[in-house]
Amino acid sequence: GAVVSQHPSWVICKSGTSVKIECRSLDFQATTMFWYRQFPKQSLMLMATSNEGSKATYEQGVEKDKFLINHASLTLSTLTVTSAHPEDSSFYICSARYFGGSRGYTFGSGTRLTVV
């Protein structure tokens, strides 16, 4: 149990276009999801906390107009990178708090975004 599915696993897009990444909780309801970004050889950086039915809370320094987060249902949160640029190329990972068991927080497998 407590599986989070992230899609796509990798994507290449042209500079200036937008990319949407989906994060689904498959066997539980996730009122709160978290989005992270990871650059090569660095740790995961929390970008924002996504709350079902309300606006996301962004970490300091993260542009909310560039990284649009929608959490319209208890099983789906999306991250849209708008007007992507090469510096947005990174590994994006979502996570959800799982209340039903002992694991606490479960993570998706990540999305490798390359902007060319």
Partner 1 sequence: DAKTTQPPSMDCAEGRAANLPCNHSTISGNEYVYWYRQIHSQGPQYIIHGLKNNETNEMASLIITEDRKSSTLILPHATLRDTAVYYCIALLTGNQFYFGTGTSLTVIP
Helix, strand, coil percentages for the chain (3-state, nearest 5): 5, 50, 45
Phi, psi of 87 (to 5 degrees): -70, -10
Instruction: Note whether 104 binds partner 1 by CB under 8 A.
Output: yes
> Is 87 strand, coil or helix?
helix
User: Residue 103, interface with partner 1 (CB under 8 A)?
Assistant: yes
Binding test (CB under 8 A) with partner 1, winner from 70, 76, 107, 114: 107
DSSP 86: G
Decide: is 6 part of the binding site for partner 1 (CB under 8 A): yes
Is 112 a residue that touches partner 1 (CB under 8 A)?
yes
Residues that bind partner 1 (CB under 8 A): 4, 6, 34, 36, 43-46, 49, 91, 93, 95, 97, 102-110, 112
